[in-house]
Amino acid sequence: AVVSTQSGHYGRGSMANVPIKPGTKYGGKTTVTLIPGDGVGPEIAESVTTIFRHMSVPIQFETISLNKDNLKDEGAFDAAITSLQRNGVGLKGVLNRSGDFRTHNLELRGNLDMYANVVRCKSIQGVGTRHEGIDLIAIRENTEGEYSGLEHESVSGVVESLKVITEEKSLRIAKFAFDYALEHNRNKVTCIHKANIMKLSDGLFKRCCEEVSKLYPSITFDSQIIDNTCQQLVINPQQFDVMVMPNLYGNLVSNLAAGLVGGAGLVPSKSYGEDIAVFEPGARHTWMEMKGMYVANPIAMVLSSAFMLKHLALHDYGDRIISAIEKVLVKGECRTRDIGGNSTTREMTRAILDEIDVA
């Protein structure tokens, strides 16, 4: 089944053309892989498990410890891959990218072929920002480009890094973007590129998007150079609808856009493969310096978990969590540091639970 209905601030739909996987069930509960990650990851993951336990959500988490402390442990990485393959659905904090562990981030996406990362950045009622009326979708090819991990030092002091763009994967992510636009009643898809300089690699990506666009006559298509895109996001972000781009540009755009609507603590994301879905914060910051302080905003992680529930057809639970978060932000009585307050992670969690209880 494909769920494409929407309502409310964050939308209520699942991803275009991504089937709901039944998941592994034991005793009436669906088993989901939970990778808390590094930095504040375990603290915001605790917010999710607290809310799920309070609501009696029929989810059983299979927790995998994959973090900076065991970055040399291939067994931990293999356990994460096996768990995600078995369960088909995961909730993930951000993994530290320092040292060799950056390769594990890439291998996680590559081994599971999680080719599409989707970040929705939407102006949020109750959160003051410079711009209003933003509602854009950043769709990022998640497995190649500059993140192919192919680097070497050819001679001392000279490093070569290979950017890999393939026709197959460019066509696949372009089709995903147009399908998303169609399923979610979006009007325009913009291809972000640097084909004026990288004529072969980004030229190929742009041509693939142009080719796919011809199959969707009801959707407006245009393209934009990445440096101009960054400027336009700051000047007039309301012009963007669905944006599709290679890996590195997607990282830049999603982080910039997250900042426009309130910051990393508010924006969820989803990464999809053919038969797997992993939900995680959209801006991918570990906030190592705040580890153990319980001051991080858990909303991005909690929203990611709500969309995970929607993906699993547990719509009522997901809707109640989303609605509770919207009410907390509108009231403005509980705010973590990133959105102008002094509330702790656990106080924000408690505020969300209070709104759930009232509903």
* Tens digit of each residue's pLDDT (9 = 90 or more) over 26-83: 668 999 999 998 889 999 999 999 999 999 999 999 999 988 777 667 788 899 999 9
Better-predicted residue by pLDDT, 251 or 150: 251
Model confidence at 18: pLDDT above 60: no
Confidence of residue 99 (pLDDT cuts 50, 70, 90): low
**Report field, pTM of the whole predicted structure over 0.75:** yes
Model confidence at 319: pLDDT above 60: yes
Q: Which pLDDT score is estimated for 262?
A: 96
Q: Which pLDDT score is estimated for 247?
A: 95
Better-predicted residue by pLDDT, 18 or 303: 303
Cα separation, 218 vs 141, whole angstroms: 23
Q: Which pLDDT score is estimated for 303?
A: 97
**Average pLDDT, integer, range 228-243:** 98
Question: Cβ(32)–Cβ(304) under 8 Å?
Answer: no
Confidence of residue 167 (pLDDT cuts 50, 70, 90): very high
Work out the mean pLDDT of the chain and round it to a whole number.
Answer: 90
Model confidence at 10: pLDDT above 50: no
CA distance between the termini of the chain: 29
Model confidence at 101: pLDDT above 60: no
